Structure 1
Amino acid sequence: MTLTAIIISIVCLVVGFVIGFVLSKSSLNSKAKFIVKDAKKTAENIIENANVKAEAIKKEKEAQAKVKFLELKSQHDENIQSREKKMQEAEKRIRDKEQKLNDELSKTGKLEKDLERQVAEYNKKHEIVVKKQQELDVATAQKVEMLEKISNYSAEEAKNELVESMKAEAKTRAQAYVQSIMEEAQLNAKNDAKKVVIQTIQRIGTEQAIENSVSVFNIESDEVKGRIIGREGRNIRALEAATGVEIIVDDTPEAILLSCFDPVRREIARLSLHKLVTDGRIHPARIEEVVEKTRKQIDEEIIEIGKRTIIDLGIHGLHPELVKIVGRMKYRSSYGQNLLQHSREVANIAATMAAELGLNVKLAKRAGLLHDIGKVPEQESELPHALLGMQWAEKYGENPEVVNAIGAHHDEVEMTSLLSPIIQVADGISGARPGARRQVLESYIQRLKDLEAAALSFEGVSSAYAIQAGRELRVMVESAKVTDEVAHQLSYDISEKIQNELTYPGQVKITVIRETRAVNIAR
């Protein structure tokens, strides 16, 4: 009997006795006595039922415990059998390995015996060979001694005389043969070289474009000039400060001149002016916004030009950075010759010459296009353009022959392949065409770059632009770092540095511009 059943039985008894006691105390009638009797009987029945249920629960729990015990016992037996099986398998593997090891040891023993037998046979044969050699040496010595007696010459003297006579005869014949070969090679080389160069020049013809440093912006009427200048000239000053281009508004009808040595700056200024005039809203804030958007547009256009160029030339797999550099060539010139046109021409000339000589045409065209990439750095570099271009090509995974051709086309590095002299010759052919280059323009552009670099070397200078063909230098300074008093001193210091370090015709005017802006936003 469980604890619950016992408690229920006791409670029932207590309740029955309490009821009986209450009924007996109240002197009820016989009906009350009957109720008490009935209650006692009910309590006894409840107790009996509780005992029966308790017994049934006990048997059920015992049965469940037996089942659980059997399950655990079965699981335990299975685990033991699994472990025994694994142990048997491990023992089998160990026995197999031992058997294999014994077999290998047996084979090794046999091989050692065979080796010992072969060594013994070799030693026996070696002894026989040594004896034969000794006999041969004795016979040779006897023959040499006999010959020395007959000829009255020692063996060493005879050998030296024979060698000397053969050496003189061979030298005479070799000199004659070499002279003949050299004359024939020089004649053929000159004829073949002339043939290749003439055929290449005849087959390759490109336009020769001479760039200048001035662009013309056409307008519909002269009324637009006043809007571009702005009140007290603030619009034109803002445009010049943002682009670094000198804007010349004179009496020329329906035209404005844009002057700058950098073609990229001129193109940005031209497109920005076109957008501003078309839109009609021309003020300093709008000018800066349009110039910035135009600069991004030019960057995208440079990439597109590079992609079109490599597609036209059939060049594949060029690194995106090299594609961008090729696009920038359109806005650069070398001695007055457009750099992109020059590079395309060199690529075609080199490809034609490589085809004539049976070399790799694709590599020649690739090296020809990339040979002057060192001329378009985003920042000035002290390295020669050939070495800088070679570094870029190597950095972006170009073929070693292409890398060497770029670096060696001005003899900065040693040529290691036949492709390098072809690129050097093609570059010379392209640059030597009548009217292809102008030395004066290159030196003029370099002088303007040196002027700007001299100003940028001072602390507090944010930008500098050479205008008026190098006769004026406009310097923008940071208002937080340069005060009005310092601006005057800075102008003097820059003029002194230019005067002492640079060579220039005439005189250069240095204008330092300091601007303070207060910007707030109403929300």
Structure 2
Amino acid sequence: MNTMGPFITAGLALLLGAVIGFFVNRYLRERERQQEQNTANDILKGATEQARLIEIQARDNALKVTRESEADIAKRRNELTEDDNRIQTRRNEQDQRAERLEQREQLVNKRQSAVDRRANEVDKQFEEQLKKLEEISKMTTDEAKEILLVEVEKEAHGDMARIIRQIEAEAREDGEKRARKLVADAIQRVASEHVAEVTSKIVPIPNDDMKGRIVGRNGRNIRAFEQAAGVDVIVDDTPDAVTISCFDSVRREIGRRAMERLTLDGRIHPAHIEKIVKEETKAVDKVMAEAGEQAAFDAGISGLKPEILRMMGRLKFRTSYGQNQLAHAVEAAKLASILASELGADIETAKLGGFLHDIGKAMDHNQDGTHAQLGAEFCRRYGVINESVLNTIASHHHEVDQASVEAVIVEAADAISGARPGARREDLEAYIKRIRALEDLASSFDGVQNAYAIQAGREVRIIVRPEDIDDFTAGKLARDIAKQIEETMQYPGQIKVIVIRETRAIDYAK
């Protein structure tokens, strides 16, 4: 019993502590809940008060917006009323103006009727006066007109010639100044050394013994060469040289190169000849392609198809009056570009037209048509779609109408390139023939007494009979002769036509 006492006492103490702790914890939780309830009530009260304030403020804002809207509506109504008043006022003014116009129209109609009556009276009086004049002069109106026209024509003839000469002189002076400046600037800017390339026809050989080997047994070597190269080989008494002859400059160049290789190599027989000719044909094709590409680069032109460049390269072996045609094409492109820039025209069109204008000269002789037509068709076939460029090619010799200022510029550039000093040359026989043809053509016109070609055929002076040619007819004669020269003759540059009319009064003192 005594040993259980302490355990019982400890258990009771624990139980009592647990009860006390329960009630204390319960009291604390109840107190905490009461505090939370109070806090929640305070928050709710504050939120209610804030909501009431927000509601009051929203009502005030709504009232303010409503008042502003009513004021704006009233203002708009006033403006609409004023606009209606202005429109009505304008309508009234338009009605009044229409009434005034109608009144004026009526007044004009009345006046027009009076004018018509007056005009009829004047016509009647004119007819009466005309009949009286015919009776007095004993001449009809048509006869009087004819006499008057003859007199007026005589007086106007001299005035016309004077006015025409004055206008031509002024236009020529201004045009020559401008043209001289443009042409001089263009030539100076393009003034590169121009060497006339003439395809060689003479092939040097080591010695005269080589001629026998070129001919071969029974002429088999020379026949094989002529058949393979398409040229004529002339073996004559010229020492240490043979002549290659062919109208096609490209084939002539291939034959020249092949003959030089054969004579240097020494192996001359038909099989080797065919091989060398084929190799030189490929080499010349490559040279022409490179020449066309280089010419396009020198002219500042890009984007052309290889077929066009190869065809342009053929002009490397083409000359006209000693002027290399590929160099002429590059020069014409540069001149056309400069002239177009000075005149405000399309520079690229003028440049490309100047470069391609003579491409038809490289065509095969079996193709029908002029070089201008062939060139335009070839360029259209191989990708030149600019119609202005094609027109410059086709029209630079006036075979078709020139459709743009660039076509005129290309024609001028072509003439400048061919006519400038040192660009071309011709042999003595052709020169004399051209001079005589020029004088004969000028002398064939009525009223011409003498005709003299001077300045190396660049000028023709025509002396006319003054009793047959008057001042007005002299100017017309100069234009007719110039036009006839353009249509019937071929010449480099331009020819100046001067008509001289001189009146001499001769008397004798006895």
- Using the size of structure 1 for normalisation, the TM-score is 0.49
| Amino acid corresponding to residue 198 of structure 2 in structure 1 | E
**Alpha-carbon distance between aligned partners in 2 of 1:381 and 1:418, rounded to the nearest angstrom:** 30
- 93, 97, 104: which one pairs with 1:143? 104
Q: Which residue of 1 aligns with 2:162?
A: none
- 178, 202, 205: which one pairs with 2:188? 202
- 204, 215, 223: which one pairs with 1:229? 215
Is 1:241 the counterpart of 2:243? The answer is no
Where does the alignment leave 5 or more consecutive residues of structure 1 unmatched? 1-127, 161-179, 443-523
Q: 1:383-418 deviations in whole A, cap 9, x for unaligned?
A: 222122122222323433222211121122222222
**Alpha-carbon distance between aligned partners in 1 of 2:104 and 2:348, rounded to the nearest angstrom:** 67
Q: 1:219-240 deviations in whole A, cap 9, x for unaligned?
A: 2233322222211221112112
Aligned runs of 1:33-182 on 2, under 5 Å?
Answer: 136-146=97-107, 154=113
**Alpha-carbon distance between aligned partners in 2 of 1:219 and 1:252, rounded to the nearest angstrom:** 11
Q: Which residue of 1 aligns with 2:259?
A: 273
Q: 1:330-376 deviations in whole A, cap 9, x for unaligned?
A: 12233543221221221222122223223343432221110011111
Aligned runs of 1:255-274 on 2, under 5 Å?
Answer: 255-274=241-260
Q: 1:477-520 deviations in whole A, cap 9, x for unaligned?
A: xxxxxxxxxxxxxxxxxxxxxxxxxxxxxxxxxxxxxxxxxxxx
Q: Which residue of 2 aligns with 1:341?
A: 327
| Residues paired across the two proteins, number | 295
| Amino acid corresponding to residue 390 of structure 2 in structure 1 | V
**Alpha-carbon distance between aligned partners in 2 of 1:130 and 1:414, rounded to the nearest angstrom:** 60
Compared CA separation, residues 247 and 145, structure 1 to 2 (3 A): closer
Q: Which residue of 2 aligns with 1:19?
A: none
Q: Secondary structure at the match of 2:242?
A: strand
Q: 1:242-285 deviations in whole A, cap 9, x for unaligned?
A: 22322222333322222223221221112212222333321112
Is 1:369 the counterpart of 2:330? The answer is no
Is 1:414 the counterpart of 2:401? The answer is yes
Q: Which residue of 1 aligns with 2:384?
A: 397
Tell me if structure 2 keeps the 8 A contact 1:215–1:259. yes
| Amino acid corresponding to residue 352 of structure 1 in structure 2 | I
Q: Secondary structure at the match of 1:318?
A: coil
Cα deviation for residue 327 of structure 1 reads 0.4
**Alpha-carbon distance between aligned partners in 2 of 1:156 and 1:129, rounded to the nearest angstrom:** 36
Q: 1:404-433 deviations in whole A, cap 9, x for unaligned?
A: 211121122222222111110111122224
Tell me if structure 1 keeps the 8 A contact 2:340–2:346. yes
Q: Secondary structure at the match of 2:345?
A: coil
Tell me if structure 2 keeps the 8 A contact 1:276–1:290. yes
| Amino acid corresponding to residue 418 of structure 2 in structure 1 | G
Where does the alignment leave 5 or more consecutive residues of structure 2 unmatched? 1-88, 120-165, 431-510
Compared CA separation, residues 192 and 234, structure 1 to 2 (3 A): same
| Amino acid corresponding to residue 409 of structure 1 in structure 2 | H
- 318, 341, 355: which one pairs with 1:355? 341
Cα deviation for residue 437 of structure 1 reads 4.8
Cα deviation for residue 377 of structure 1 reads 1.3
Tell me if structure 2 keeps the 8 A contact 1:210–1:437. no
Q: Secondary structure at the match of 1:305?
A: helix
Compared CA separation, residues 146 and 423, structure 1 to 2 (3 A): closer
Tell me if structure 2 keeps the 8 A contact 1:335–1:441. no
Q: 1:41-69 deviations in whole A, cap 9, x for unaligned?
A: xxxxxxxxxxxxxxxxxxxxxxxxxxxxx
Q: Which residue of 1 aligns with 2:413?
A: 426
Q: Secondary structure at the match of 2:194?
A: coil
Cα deviation for residue 292 of structure 1 reads 2.0
**Alpha-carbon distance between aligned partners in 1 of 2:99 and 2:415, rounded to the nearest angstrom:** 71
Cα deviation for residue 307 of structure 1 reads 1.0
Over the matched positions of the two proteins, sequence identity in percent amounts to: 42
Compared CA separation, residues 338 and 232, structure 1 to 2 (3 A): same
Q: 1:177-222 deviations in whole A, cap 9, x for unaligned?
A: xxx999977654332122112222333334252636x522122233
| Amino acid corresponding to residue 286 of structure 1 in structure 2 | H
Q: Secondary structure at the match of 2:243?
A: strand
- Using the size of structure 2 for normalisation, the TM-score is 0.51
